[in-house]
Amino acid sequence: MSFSTAGVHHVTAITSDQQRNLDFYAGILGLRLVKRTVNFDDPTTYHFYFGDESGNPGSLITFFAWPGARRGRPGAGQVGVTSFSIPPRSLGYWIERLIRYHVQYEQPRTRFDDERVIAFKDPDGLLLELVAHASAEPRPQWAGGQVEAEHSIRGIHAVTLWEDGHELTSRLLTEALGFRLTREQGSIYRFVAQAAGPASIVDLRVVPGLWSGVMGAGAVHHVAFRARDDAEQIAVRGALATLGSNITPQLDRQYFRSVYFREPGGVLFEIATDGPGFTVDEPLETLGRALKLPPWLEDRRFEIEALLPDVRLPLKIPGPAG
Ligand code: ZN
């Protein structure tokens, strides 16, 4: 049985300022901070997870907070753009909101006939989009955040890979991860996961001659795709090895289990299990409020808390109508 991912599990990027990052994603964009933890490879820095109410796979954008990190450079071999879903009727609401909070954005444009796209950047320069499309409507709303529930972001819509060419990456997406090539428009190849549900789109944009991306603040570190469970993850790991990828052993990320490899175009890919999820170490009601550490770091909590900078969740800020 060949593997077919349900789509994007999460996107992880780098911020140079943890408080500004919290204010932007939990405040202006109104996502839920579903986990406040540390970078397991460098426990003196934060790792924030933002998502929908329960942090479902496909709703998640996460950040390594490296204070004062040098700015990265968007370019080839990176996830160039991360796109979030909004319902079509929320387009005006979001334009007003971006204006209100002085977020520069580009006038909405149409893509592939059925998407209206607003492009903007986060405070570190990370390229983002809000994409209004009809299938966003039924996805879970988050009523406890800074954005009215009906207009709340409905998780990730797509990621756009920027690559020198497309052949090898296309083959990996279709043969190892189970995506289908559904559309081509200009330099964009659109791949959709078989399930065609939320967060199921990968756009591969061919940018020959574009400079290479440089990792740093405002750049995506990696994109993770969903595996249902360990068995699926083992199966896809085998398929990737057969296609010639070096791939890590399984790593325990506490909220999911992960393997990593670099796809042929240079982007770091991860395959992450759907479970166990974010309620494994705190209740749904209080997700994100307290610093959570994995069991193997718990006995260093005193030292870790002393080294981490203080942060606070943004206070309720009035919406554009308020
Ligand atoms: Zn990850």
Predicted confidence (pLDDT) per residue in 257-307, tens digit: 999 999 999 999 999 999 999 999 999 999 999 999 999 999 999 999 999
The predicted structure's pLDDT at residue 216: 98
Distance CA 60, CA 49 (A): 7
- From the centroid of its chain, how far is CA 290? 22
| Alpha carbon of 75 to ligand 1 centroid (Å) | 20
Of 105, 25, 98, 30, nearest to 62 by C-alpha is 25
| Alpha carbon of 222 to ligand 1 centroid (Å) | 6
Predicted confidence (pLDDT) per residue in 130-170, tens digit: 999 999 999 999 999 999 999 999 999 999 999 999 999 99
| Alpha carbon of 126 to ligand 1 centroid (Å) | 17
pLDDT category, 1, cuts 50, 70, 90? low
Structure tokens at 174: 């279709």
Give this prediction's pTM: 0.97
Distance CA 153, CA 156 (A): 8
| Alpha carbon of 11 to ligand 1 centroid (Å) | 7
Backbone angles phi, psi at 6, to 5 degrees: -80, -10
| Alpha carbon of 226 to ligand 1 centroid (Å) | 11
For 15-40, what is the HEC assignment? Answer: ECCHHHHHHHHHHHCCCEEEEEEEEC
Question: What domains sit in the chain, N to C, each tagged with a CATH number?
Answer: 8-307 (3.10.180.10)
| Alpha carbon of 269 to ligand 1 centroid (Å) | 8
What's at 180, amino acid-wise?
R
| Alpha carbon of 96 to ligand 1 centroid (Å) | 32
Distance CA 129, CA 136 (A): 14
DSSP character string of 260-320: EEE-TTS-EEEEEES-S-GGGSS-GGGTTSSB---GGGGGGHHHHHHHSPP--PPPP---T
Whether 319 has a pLDDT exceeding 60, the answer reads: no
Cα dihedral 63, 66, 67, 73 in deg (nearest 10): -90
| Alpha carbon of 305 to ligand 1 centroid (Å) | 23
| Alpha carbon of 253 to ligand 1 centroid (Å) | 8
**Which residues have their alpha-adjacent CB atom under 5 A from ion ligand 1?**
12, 224, 270
Percent of the chain whose pLDDT exceeds 90? 93
The predicted structure's pLDDT at residue 48: 98
Of 216, 221, 252, 226, nearest to 40 by C-alpha is 252
pLDDT category, 322, cuts 50, 70, 90? very low
The mean per-residue pLDDT over the stretch 112-133 comes to 97
pLDDT category, 233, cuts 50, 70, 90? very high
Predicted confidence (pLDDT) per residue in 47-66, tens digit: 999 999 999 999 999 999 99
